[in-house]
Chains A and B, each alone.
Chain A
Amino acid sequence: MTGPVISLSGVVHRYGTVAALDGIDLDVPAGVLAGLIGPDGVGKSTLLGLVAGVTRIQTGTVHVLDGDMERAAHRRAVCARIAYMPQGLGRNLYPTLSVKENLHFFARLFGQGSAEREARIAELSAATGLSPFLDRPAGKLSGGMKQKLGICAALIHDPDLLLLDEPTTGVDPLSRRQFWDLVERIRARRPGMSVLVATAYMDEAERFDWLAALNAGRVIASGAPADLRTRTGAATLEQAFVRLLPEGAGDAPLEVPPRMVTDGPPAIAAQGLTRRFGAFTAVDHVSFRIGKGEIFGFLGSNGCGKSTTMKMLTGLLPATDGTAELFGQPVDAGDMETRRRVGYMSQAFSLYAELTVRQNLDLHARLFRLDPAGIPGRIEEMLSRFDLSDVADARPESLPLGMRQRLQLAVALIHGPEILILDEPTSGVDPIARDGFWRTLIALSREEGVTIFLSTHFMNEAERCDRISLMHEGRVLAVGAPADLRAQHGCVPLEDVFIHVLEQAAGPAGVAAEAPPLHEVAAAPPRRFDLRRLWAYAWREMLEIRRDSARLAFALLGPALLMVTFGYGISFDVEDLAFAVYDQDQSAQSRQLIETFQGSRYFKEQRPITSPADLDRRMQEGDLQVAIEIPPDFGKNLLRGRAPEVAVWLDGAMPFRAETMRGYVTGLAQAYAADAARREAGREPAATLSITPRYRYNQAFLSANAIVPSVIMLMLALIPAITTALAVVKEKETGSIANFQSTPVTRVEFLLGKQLPYAAIATVSYVMLVLIALYVFDVPLKGSLAALTVGSIAYVLATTAFGLFVSSFVASQVAAIFATAIITIIPAVNFSGLMVPVSSLTGSGRMIGLAFPSAWYQPVTTGVFAKGLGFADVWPEICVLLLFCAGFLTAAVFSLKKRSA
């Protein structure tokens, strides 16, 4: 190839008002290993996203593989020729899936058949040395192995262009070196392939054929590494980069004055410190002693146990074994005194984003109980020392990373600690800000005698420490002054020392066998719709749910548990009413009246009422729901035909119950009157009207018979919709949505693939719910089970499609849960016949109800359960439910974006 593989011109990309890319014109040569270098936040990832076609182009043109990425047809044609590995170690991998399952998933996304998949996975895993770990879950791999898996996944379809976004960040030096060797081997086998890598490690960039240096959204230089060095007259690329920056012109080299060694007990001492999490040993018998005023560096990859060791020293985590001492005292989590002498800065930014810079300092000063009078002065002192006075009233989130790190350090120092424990304080900070940060640390150590214990993965920072400790997989492999370590191992760069000790520790294994060359398959342009890609997502989703107990329990047990709750909780049955009588007459007639109530199954008699005050008090306490007051001379007046008045008091606190009680009382009073008339006259009363009520569908008039079928309606809406909504958003949150964006899978395949497993689970729930209805609540099923089942499947297809629709516009799992719950519950509870019959609804309530599947499914459940209906009666509803499913899916397809903003 002769022309550039990637060509950008006039590219501007903004997030809100911030320009991530600010006018980029760049031609990346084809067939070479090309790099983008620059610290965090200069726009490298945005640029790669545009090239990969996962980010929408705002301004300018992006040509990749001889076509305009603005054209959807071109994107569809080339996405099978591009491989994109997004930033964040293993972020596009699925942690609960094994290595093999991950690779199968990626291969399926490119529509590969079973034999082809097996062959390629065998080949790639042999080439990367992953073969022995094929069954290990991706989440349990070390950083280096995750990276290898990432590259296997990227290479599974023989791409012509490989885009790697910071592939080596946070990985130990040995793995990093192996990674670059692997990339070299792959390039040797596929010479035509172009590779574009973004990295923040300047030292790695030396091996690139071509590179572009980015700063603040602009290209500040491009060309071969050697050219850049000669152009700036710098010895290293890092120096060259600093010199290319506008503010980096006259920087003085950083000097570390020698340390005055003082006697006395060590500030920090660890002896055999061990921490296990279950079967996993995070820190394995670590021992060291750090003297007062020393700068002690901890080096190692992500997950090697650095942070865990630091947490044990601060008392955040108890040690499983071994001892840690600060100032000669054992670390004790409850010891407030020691905490006041230690300052800690955790790995991620951990101050309150909702408080201003000044409020953060103030809060910490007060929590450390500094003398209140001295606090304002101390805050001013810290603000000026760390050059934060101008931003004192700004919120930290609006500050650049370097400034936030200074604020964190200021907070850690506010109480004048003697020991500072800093967990990767400079990761992601640009070289100039890093140097400034180090000047402060050196001053603290040398001038104030503060002991500094920090972790880093920058080798040049390690050089500045008094002593360093190399850590790997929970163990300390070597400790000493940087110069001594270099001398011991006979290596000049510190990085080689580290690699050397790692190799000694690991033994000779770990070198990948030379695999046979990859066989070339003519890449057919991807089909518009491919069942295999759909199945890739469905299969992956199923595996993931099976391994996520929280979600599985929610999806399967949630409906059953809630069904039991609702079945018992929503009851319109009014029985066992506590009543008592205030009988001021005590005649045969009054006793007859009381007997009428005693004989009713709805009422339970309590001890008699003795006075009006007793009546009031007992009703107030809620002991009585009904009180009957029979006046004096009731019997006498009755016999004389004077129609004596009996007062009945109801507890109106719960209106529905009171209304029903009123009905009961009226009925009983009528019965009593008729009885009395019969007794008196000894004959039946004259012709009367008789009204015969027939309680249809539910002769016993039991709540359960009516409520339980409606609850099935509610459950099959709420839970499937929420779980499905989570499924898509989870990929957005973890970053694996990039797999959807950068591969040929279409929106329809993606959505249907996501929906199928949840619809299947919901169908299982449906079976459980029906069994609970039949056997726990004894609700008879009068109609056609087949009609109910078909209707229910149509319904869960509609509700899961609704979940997909919600998840296509929400951004977080929390929003997905609450939005889905609120949107579902209102129509399903209020407007679908659960509480109020649909026939009574008018106006907007009826419209809202009919615009949601629940109101259409309710006639199916209640109809089949209670009314004995079959297909002939409910087929129109089933058709409407299927239409809902199609409608929601269409809406989801249109609102799901294949490219992000």
Chain B
Amino acid sequence: MTAAATRTGGLPARLARVFRLGVKELYSLRADPVLMALILYTFTFAVYSVSTGAKMEVENAAVAIVDEDRSMLSARIADAFMRPYFKPADAIGAGAVDRAMDKGAYVFVVEIPPKFEHDMIAGRSPEILLDIDATAMSQAGNGASYIQNIIQKEVVAAFPSLAGTERVSVVVRAKFNPNLKSTWFTAVMQVINNVTMLSVILSGAALIREREHGTIEHLLVMPVTPIEIMLAKIWSNGLVIVVAATLSLLIVVKGLLGVPVAGSLLLFVAAATIYQFSVTALGILIATFSSSMAQFGLIAMPLLIIMNLLSGSTTPMESMPRWLELVMQTISPAPHFVALSQAILYRGAGLGVIWPQLAILTAIGAAFFALAALRFRKALLAAG
């Protein structure tokens, strides 16, 4: 054996080992049908079903009408509620309102007073009461303004004289998502949440699997350093997820759901790769804290729920209390990735816009990696 071959330092040699170990990691993943099925499921079916199923739009809202007028006008209003926003309105008696709303049978109840049409004609400004179940947060606010518009429209159609001359015309347009389709939002955010979830689970599980099978000991007695083992796990698991996420974005989100992607896909993939690094490092870090796969699950699951919910991918960051927003932005890479993905994918932002988030992502990732590397050897052997 030559002297050069026996040396184990040297960057090319290190890279070769990291590559070799990573390839092994891919074999391991291929041999685990459960994880493969999980990846496939989350990036296809889960993205599709959540973004088409869990809509935050007002849809099929249940409405009831208490019609004490029984006039042409009130009948006209009752008929105006139509799908997809509303279910056809049910007529109920005035005495049934409280009970029906207590039961949660209707989100909205429109109460039309007696002599409504008559008063309208007489110019007496009658009042319609709109009861809103304000515990149905996703529909109550926007649904109420739809209903007010619908009633206005019907009344104006019946009494054109009421229309009055328009003094200012305010034209409201939404940029980046003109029809405000929630699918556009949910689908992409779902892909991002899945990237977070799978990166943590895959890399953590890969490490714990090695420990439970005793193979990690084997690696550690060979001329391989812990950093190399970690890097191998990061690049291989990261590669699988970035590829899966990109395919999901192209095939499921763009193709199947027809969501337009505004910005550069390449930039998104590059950013996702950096994000990968931070979340896979986090997965390894959690794995060093857990002694078994079950414990890993118990620690990882609440953490993942917190990371995804408080990342701005479900509700905007600015609705959180300021302190919580700051805490999340410091300890979690997710809010930064969500912000930059929204910028790239919805608003078509370029590198010039998103570089600060990229820099923070890299910093948080480096911190996770450093912590994991510190704990790696000690934790693995103590628990094994």
| Neighbouring B residues of A334 by C-beta, 8 Å | 225
Distance of A709 Cα from B137 Cα, bound (Å): 12
Known: A570-B314, A840-B61. A648 touches B169 (CB 8 A): no
A706 touches which one: B13, B137, B151, B185 (CB < 8 A)?
A: B137
Residue from B53, B127, B134, B339 having most chain A Cβ neighbours under 10 A: B134
Within 8 Å by CB of B214, from A348, A569, A644, A666, lies: A348
State which of A344, A656, A677 has its C-beta within 8 Å of the C-beta of B182. A656
Task: Give the nearest-CB partner of B147 in chain A.
Answer: A691
> B57 CB to closest chain A CB, in angstroms?
7
The tally of residues in B whose CB lies under 8 Å from a CB in A reads 129
Q: Which of A352, A568, A665, A837 contacts B104 (CB 8 A)?
A: A837
Q: Does A212 contact B (CB under 8 A)?
A: no
Bound CA–CA A486/B279 (angstroms): 60
- Provide the A327-356 mask, 1 if CB < 8 A to any CB of B, else 0: 000000110110110101011111111110
Interface centre among B126, B214, B315 (most CB of A within 10 A): B315
Most B-side CB within 10 Å, residue of A355, A569, A648: A569
Is there contact, CB below 8 Å, between A621 and B353?
yes
Stretch from A362-370, A442-450, A882-890 forming part of the interface with B: A362-370
Q: Closest residue to B61 on the A side, CB-wise?
A: A840
Question: Quick one: CB contact mask for A859-870 with B, threshold 8 Å, 1 for yes?
Answer: 100110011010
Partner of B125, one of A658, A690, A698, A703: A690
Question: In the complex, what distance in Å separates the CA atom of A575 from the CA atom of B320?
Answer: 11
Tell whether, in the assembled complex, residue B8 and residue A340 are in contact, meaning their CB atoms are under 8 Å apart: yes
Contacts of B293 in A (CB 8 A): 812-814
Query: Within the complex, which residue of A314, A698, A835 is in contact with B134, where a contact is CB–CB below 8 Å?
Result: A698
Contact B218 A350 (CB under 8 A): yes
**Residues on the B chain within 8 Å of A593, using CB:** 168
Interface presence of A659 (CB below 8 A): yes
Q: Are A842 and B60 in contact (CB under 8 A)?
A: yes
B30 touches A354 (CB 8 A): yes
A367 touches B20 (CB 8 A): yes
Q: Are B223 and A369 within 8 A (Cβ)?
A: yes
- In the complex, which residues 76-129 of chain B have their Cβ closer than 8 Å to any Cβ of chain A? 87, 101-107, 120, 123-129
Provided the pairs A336-B8, A621-B353, A836-B138 are in contact, do residues A689 and B174 lie with their beta carbons within 8 angstroms? no
Nearest residue (CB) in A for B228 is A367
CB-CB under 8 A from A562, the residues of chain B are 302, 305-306
B381 close to A813 (CB less than 8 A) = no
User: A residues 675-721 with Cβ under 8 Å of B?
Assistant: 676-677, 685-699, 701, 703, 705-707, 709
Which residues from A are CB-within-8-Å of B290?
A: 550
> For the complex, is A649 an interface residue (Cβ under 8 Å from B)?
yes
Residues of A within 8 A of B225 (CB): 334, 336
Set of chain A residues within 8 Å of B174, measured between Cβ atoms: 649-652, 658, 662
Which single residue of chain A is at the shortest CB-CB distance from B41? A822
Please count how many residues in chain A sit with their CB below 8 Å of the partner chain's CB atoms. 135
CA distance A672 to B167 in the complex (A): 10
- Is A56 in contact with chain B by the CB < 8 A criterion? no
B375 within 8 A of A: no
Question: What residues on A are CB-neighbors of B223 within 8 Å?
Answer: 336, 339-340, 367-369
Chain B residues lying within 8 Å of A566, measured Cβ to Cβ, are 309
Q: Does A574 contact B (CB under 8 A)?
A: yes
A354 to B174, CA, bound (A): 52
Q: Which of B344-369 contact A (CB under 8 A)?
A: 346-349, 353
Tell me if B160 counts as interface (CB < 8 A to partner A). no
Question: How near does chain A come to B269, taking the closest CB pair, in angstroms?
Answer: 20
User: Is A337 touching B169 in the complex (CB atoms < 8 A)?
Assistant: no
Do residues B127 and A647 form an inter-chain contact, with CB atoms below 8 A? no
Closest to A341 in B: B6
- Using A653-B342, A697-B134, A813-B294 as known contacts, say yes or no to A839 and B107 having CB atoms under 8 A apart: yes
* A516 interface hit (Cβ, 8 Å): no
Task: For B1, give the chain A residue with the smallest CB separation.
Answer: A371
> Are A367 and B224 closer than 8 Å at their CB atoms?
yes
A558/B302 in contact, CB under 8 A: yes
Segment from B21-29, B239-247, B250-258 that makes contact with A: B21-29
- Do A277 and B382 contact each other (CB < 8 Å), given the known contacts A648-B170, A691-B127, A706-B137? yes
Does A58 sit within 8 A of B, measured CB to CB? Answer: no
Provide the residues of chain B in CB contact with A568, threshold 8 Å.
310, 320-321, 324
B314 touches A653 (CB 8 A): no
Q: By CB atoms of chain B within 10 A, which of A593, A619, A837 has the most?
A: A837
Inter-subunit contact B170/A344 (CB<8 Å): no
Contact assessment for B319 and A364 in the assembled complex, using a CB-CB cutoff below 8 Å = no
Q: A689 is contacted by which of B126, B136, B169, B182 (Cβ under 8 Å)? A: B126
Contacts of A518 in B (CB 8 A): none
A333 to B1: give the CA distance in the assembly, Å. Answer: 23
Q: How far is the CA of A686 from the CA of B103 in the complex (A)?
A: 40
Q: Does B214 lie within 8 Å of A346, measured CB to CB?
A: yes
Q: In the assembly, what is the distance between CA of A337 and CA of B223, in Å?
A: 8
Give residues of chain A (598-629) contacting chain B, Cβ–Cβ below 8 Å.
Answer: 619-622
A859 and B103 contact, Cβ closer than 8 Å, known pairs A339-B221, A368-B222: yes
CB-contacts of A554-585 with B (<8 A) = 554, 558, 561-562, 565-566, 568-576
Is the CB–CB distance between B53 and A830 below 8 Å?
Answer: yes
* Chain B contacts for A348, CB-based, 8 A: 213-214
For B57, the chain A residues whose CB sits under 8 A away are 655-656, 659
Q: How far apart sit A840 and B57, CA to CA, in the bound complex (Å)? A: 11
Contact A814:B133 (CB < 8 A) given known A571-B319, A646-B170, A873-B102:
no
B141 touches which one: A311, A663, A685 (CB < 8 A)? A663
Give 1 or 0 for each of B58-70: 1 = CB within 8 Å of chain A CB.
0111100000000
Is B55's CB under 8 angstroms from A316's CB? no
Establish whether residues B320 and A350, one from each chain, have CB atoms under 8 Å apart when the complex forms. Answer: no
With an 8 A cutoff between CB atoms, is A657 at the interface? yes
Q: Is A845's beta carbon under 8 Å from chain B?
A: yes
CB contacts (< 8 Å) of A651 on chain B: these are 174-176, 347
* Minimum C-beta distance from A354 to chain B (A): 3
Docked-complex contact A571 and B8, CB < 8 angstroms: no
**Within the assembled complex, what's the spacing in Å between the Cα atoms of A316 and B294?**
25
List B residues 157-201 near A (Cβ within 8 Å).
162, 164-178, 180-182, 184-185
Beta-carbon contact of A836 and B169 below 8 Å:
no
A271 at the interface (CB under 8 A from B): no
* A652-B177, A656-B182, A676-B168 known; A339-B133 Cβ under 8 A: no
| CA gap between A351 and B184 in the complex, in Å | 46
Tell whether, in the assembled complex, residue A314 and residue B221 are in contact, meaning their CB atoms are under 8 Å apart: yes
B130: nearest chain-A partner, CB-CB: A693
Alpha-carbon gap, A645 to B215, bound state (A): 71
Name B295's closest neighbour in chain A (CB-CB). A550
CB pair B222–A367 under 8 Å, yes or no, is yes
A699 adjacent to B222 (CB under 8 Å): no
The reply on A818 being an interface residue by CB < 8 A is yes
Knowing A336-B8, A840-B139, say if A655 contacts B220 (CB, 8 Å). no
Question: B295-311 vs A: 1/0 string, CB under 8 Å?
Answer: 10111011001100110
Question: For residue A337, which residues in chain B have a CB less than 8 angstroms away from its CB?
Answer: 6, 8
Of the A-B pairs whose beta carbons lie under 8 Å apart in the complex, a sample of 14, sorted by A's number, is A344-B218, A354-B28, A550-B299, A575-B319, A622-B339, A641-B167, A645-B171, A655-B181, A691-B147, A695-B132, A703-B319, A830-B50, A833-B104, A837-B139
Q: Which 10 A-B pairs have the closest CB atoms?
A: A354-B31, A652-B174, A652-B177, A813-B294, A698-B134, A350-B214, A336-B8, A687-B123, A569-B309, A839-B62
Given contacts A697-B133, A703-B319, A867-B135, 17 further A-B contacts (CB under 8 A): A311-B217, A337-B6, A352-B28, A363-B20, A366-B17, A562-B306, A568-B324, A572-B315, A619-B347, A641-B165, A652-B180, A677-B167, A689-B128, A696-B132, A817-B297, A837-B104, A839-B106
Binding site for B on A (CB under 8 A): 277, 311, 314-317, 333-334, 336-337, 339-340, 342, 344, 346-355, 359, 363-364, 366-371, 550-551, 554, 558, 561-562, 565-566, 568-576, 593, 619-622, 638, 641, 643-660, 662-663, 665-667, 669, 672-673, 676-677, 685-699, 701, 703, 705-707, 709, 722, 726, 730, 812-814, 816-818, 821, 829-830, 833, 835-842, 845, 859, 862-863, 866-867, 869, 873
